[in-house]
Amino acid sequence: MIVDLRSDTVTRPTRGMHEAMMSAEVGDDVFGEDPSVKALEEKCARKLGMDAAIFCPSGTMTNQIGIKILTQPYDEVICYKGSHIYKYEGGGVAGNSLASVRLLDGDRGRLSVKDVADNLNNSHDVHQPFTSVVSLENTVVREAGSYYYLKDIALISEFARLKGLKMHLDGARFFNALTETGDSPADYGKYFDSISICLSKGLGAPVGSVLVCKKELEVKARRIRKVFGGGMRQAGFLAAAGVYALDNHIDRLQEDHIRARELGSVLKNRNWVKSIMPVDTNIVIFSIIDRITPDQVLAKLGAHDIKAIKFGDHEIRLVTHLDFDDRMLEKTIDVINKLSF
Ligand SMILES: *Cc1c(COP(=O)(O)O)cnc(C)c1O
């Protein structure tokens, strides 16, 4: 039995998802003729309380389109310093939007109104880049899946609006956050101009992300998607997997969180583990004692067919997901308890 905890992207379609994909009605989506893509887009827009949505191949693309439709060249984007849009998208904000980033620490990656207020440039000073967007990430992947409550987002958004700033949300693990907060997805739309959600993470679809945005931004977003090479043809097979995931895989996310917490509590007691970040959702990040390396730990886990990834010089990350069940959890706990260095 192989246990793959490297990422929540490693899942395979379930039988039900497979059937939904195989029976999808499709058409050429570049001509706007794929009914399954349209159904997914309408469902996402409605679910998040916004009026437009665009299906894309990846979360990197939905983030990059989101930032591009909200900025002009030379603008500045305020975000957490470890945010995906900055750290894991290959410099796309610079390359695609010709914008700079203002990198903040936040509280485990979560920004506050004060963070935004303190980093807002003076729009009348020609020396300073024009601050145009606040980009939040929920959950924060680099901070072991910490999450925002909507009431805190509302405060940031109200302040941003007052200052004429646009709001983008990288919601790659949006539903993981909501699983913990109980906030309603439909209440999110009013606080953002664009929201990116991933279907290929915890939701278990093989491919795809959706950019949900304001109606007036839709045409621009579709144009940028085409420019980025994201216009897909009979993409309905993939969109059907997304619809299935939204219908069937949101409620079960709490199982992933419970299993992640169990892994966290087992790791906490090992003498080769130095510290562990709070396990808030489905991501476990821990650091190991100085005299050993992540590669040594990964090799020992690997010898038992357990895969994890190095997440820094002295850190390791485990992510729970749809294809990690209780049998695998038991095996992993057993192996972790027996490891010694
Ligand atoms: C995975 C992820 C994305 C998008 O990644 P893709 O692999 O391009 O789909 C965006 N933001 C965060 C926080 C992520 O974890």
Task: Give pLDDT tens digits for 195-228.
Answer: 999 999 999 999 999 999 999 999 999 999 999 9
pLDDT value for 298: 98
pLDDT digits (tens, 9 = 90+) for 11-61: 999 999 999 999 999 999 999 999 999 999 999 999 999 999 999 999 999
pLDDT value for 187: 97
Per the prediction, the chain carries an average pLDDT of 98
pLDDT value for 92: 98
pLDDT value for 191: 98
pLDDT value for 287: 98
CA atoms of 53 and 42, how far apart (whole Å): 7
User: Which of 142, 198, 228 gets mutated to test ligand 1 (max ligand atoms within 8 A of its CB)?
Assistant: 198
pLDDT value for 94: 98
Percent of the chain with pLDDT over 90: 100
The arithmetic mean of pLDDT across residues 238-249, rounded, is: 98
pLDDT value for 222: 98
Find how far residue 102's CA is from the centre of its chain. Answer: 20
Sheet holding 52-56, edge to edge: 52-56, 209-213, 194-198, 166-171, 130-137, 75-80, 100-104
pLDDT value for 311: 95
Ligand 1 centroid to residue 234 C-alpha, Å: 23
CATH of domain 15-248: 3.40.640.10
pLDDT value for 214: 97
> Six-digit token pair at 28?
């050429």
pLDDT value for 36: 98
User: Which of 56, 84, 199, 281 gets mutated to test ligand 1 (max ligand atoms within 8 A of its CB)?
Assistant: 84
The arithmetic mean of pLDDT across residues 305-318, rounded, is: 97
Beta bridge partners of 3: 306
Ligand 1 centroid to residue 340 C-alpha, Å: 34
Q: Does domain 252-338 have CATH number 1.10.443.10?
A: no
pLDDT value for 151: 98
Sheet holding 315-319, edge to edge: 273-276, 283-288, 315-319, 309-310
Ligand 1 centroid to residue 211 C-alpha, Å: 12
Reported confidence tier of residue 325, pLDDT bands at 50, 70, 90: very high
pLDDT value for 37: 98
pLDDT value for 58: 98
The arithmetic mean of pLDDT across residues 257-284, rounded, is: 98
pLDDT value for 212: 98
Ligand 1 centroid to residue 242 C-alpha, Å: 16
pLDDT digits (tens, 9 = 90+) for 276-301: 999 999 999 999 999 999 999 999 99
Ligand 1 centroid to residue 269 C-alpha, Å: 31
Report helix, strand or coil for 1.
coil
Take atom 3 of ligand 1 and give the residue whose Cα is closest.
Answer: 59
Q: Where are the domains of the chain?
A: 15-248, 252-338
Which atom of ligand 1 is the closest one to the Cα of 57? Answer: 9
User: Which of 201, 203, 317, 319 gets mutated to test ligand 1 (max ligand atoms within 8 A of its CB)?
Assistant: 201
The arithmetic mean of pLDDT across residues 310-328, rounded, is: 97
Closest Cα to residue 203, out of 290, 75, 322? 322
* Ligand 1 binding site (Cβ under 6 Å of any ligand atom): 58-60, 63, 84, 137, 141, 170, 172, 198, 200-201, 209
The arithmetic mean of pLDDT across residues 103-128, rounded, is: 98
Ligand 1 centroid to residue 240 C-alpha, Å: 20
pLDDT value for 306: 98
CB < 8 Å & 24+ apart, contacts of 335-340: 335/301, 335/304, 335/306, 336/263, 336/266, 336/267, 336/270, 337/266, 337/270, 339/270, 339/272, 339/297, 339/300, 339/301, 340/272
Ligand 1 centroid to residue 319 C-alpha, Å: 14
pLDDT value for 292: 97
The arithmetic mean of pLDDT across residues 311-319, rounded, is: 96
Percent of the chain with pLDDT over 70: 100
User: Which of 9, 96, 141, 146 gets mutated to test ligand 1 (max ligand atoms within 8 A of its CB)?
Assistant: 141
Ligand 1 centroid to residue 105 C-alpha, Å: 20
Take atom 4 of ligand 1 and give the residue whose Cα is closest.
Answer: 59
pLDDT value for 2: 97
Whether the Cβ atoms of residue 68 and residue 46 lie closer than 8 Å to each other: no
